[in-house]
Amino acid sequence: MAISYRDNNSPNEIRFPNPRKRTDVIKHGQIYVAQEQTRPVEQQTPFTPIISDLLQRTIAAENELKQAERERKSAASELKSLLGAARKIIWNMWKSVTAKCSDKPHQATNWGFYYKANTGNVILPKSLEERLETLNAYISQEQSQPEDQRFPIPDLLDVIDMHMALEDQADTRAASLRKRESQVERCNELALKLCNYLQAAGIYLLAMEFKFKISKDLQNWGYDIAAKSSSSSSREESGGETTPTPEPATNGSSEPVVKDSTLLNGTADVDVEVVDADSEKE
């Protein structure tokens, strides 16, 4: 909900906070509540209890968002560390597999590696998903082999432990990311509600306390009172609309007839209508 108010006779205008700038909305809410608390309860606006409650909820949500962001960063950092260790294990897996399959490199696919036929190369996995798939396939292939035929390096138990740790940490990171995104949505929703009620309270104060006169005293409640921009002043002088410029008559037998109409704000609007000279005679 966007509320706007213009006083054509005032050099100033009231500006409400942008709901997308949550920090500004919270700061405004804090100033508003602090000002209202200096007044007797019976003189406070009917929106003050709502704003006070929304402010507390918004601040709490922002704190929860900060915690969610810390958890996300921690999970991402731990995953990055695990990926470094996983690369070493997968490299040892690759060396063992390619040595065994040197005559038939395409057989490396049995252990989860990708074989590039046009070059004859066995490719190392790059992405997290590819590494997890390779580890999983390698474990399955090795477990299907007799124990005495398994690769001694790396130790299969180390590979299993790495796969489980990597998978768990990937899930933890994904969960922390979802939590953060959900918290961002909640913070945006609360900030929008708080912003809407601050706008409503501003109009209420403007009407009941200042009789629709834009006063700089509204700054005591956190409202931004600023001098009108030149574009705003131009719109008000033209009644908020731009009058199209009439095209001059090009026919020698026609002449313009001027009609005067007065706008609601007292300025004059001129319409130019071209009337055929012969039709006037009729």
pLDDT (tens digit per residue) in 212-257: 999 999 999 999 998 887 655 455 455 444 444 445 444 444 444 4
Amino acid identity of residue 222, one-letter, is G
The mean per-residue pLDDT over the stretch 92-114 comes to 97
Domain count, the chain: 2
DSSP assignment, residue 39?
S
Q: Which domain holds residue 6?
A: 1-103+157-237
What pLDDT score does 11 carry?
82
Indicate the residue among 217, 237, 257 that finishes a domain. 237
The mean per-residue pLDDT over the stretch 143-167 comes to 97
Distances in Å between the Cα of 220 and the Cα atoms of 193, 194, 216, 252, 271 are 21, 18, 8, 64, 46
Checking if the pLDDT of 278 tops 80, the result is no
Q: Are 26 and 84 in a shared domain?
A: yes
DSSP assignment, residue 262?
E
pLDDT tier, 8 (very low <50, low <70, confident <90, very high otherwise): confident
Q: Are 191 and 215 in a shared domain?
A: yes
Is 54 part of a structural domain of the chain? yes
Checking if the pLDDT of 76 tops 80, the result is yes
Contact 177, 72 (CB under 8 A): yes
Checking if the pLDDT of 164 tops 60, the result is yes
C-alpha angle with apex 21: 34 to 59, nearest 5 degrees? 50
Q: Are 230 and 267 in a shared domain?
A: no
Contact 213, 7 (CB under 8 A): yes
Q: Are 53 and 169 in a shared domain?
A: yes
The mean per-residue pLDDT over the stretch 53-59 comes to 98
pLDDT tier, 155 (very low <50, low <70, confident <90, very high otherwise): very high
Higher pLDDT, 247 or 166: 166
Is 127 part of a structural domain of the chain? no
What pLDDT score does 217 carry?
95
The mean per-residue pLDDT over the stretch 6-11 comes to 75
Residue 276: partners with Cβ closer than 8 Å, 6 or more residues away: 253, 254
The mean per-residue pLDDT over the stretch 71-96 comes to 97
Q: Which of 50-59, 85-94, 271-280 has the lowest mean pLDDT?
A: 271-280
Checking if the pLDDT of 171 tops 80, the result is yes
What pLDDT score does 1 carry?
59
* 3-class DSSP state of 208: helix
Q: Are 89 and 22 in a shared domain?
A: yes
Checking if the pLDDT of 192 tops 90, the result is yes
Q: Are 279 and 177 in a shared domain?
A: no
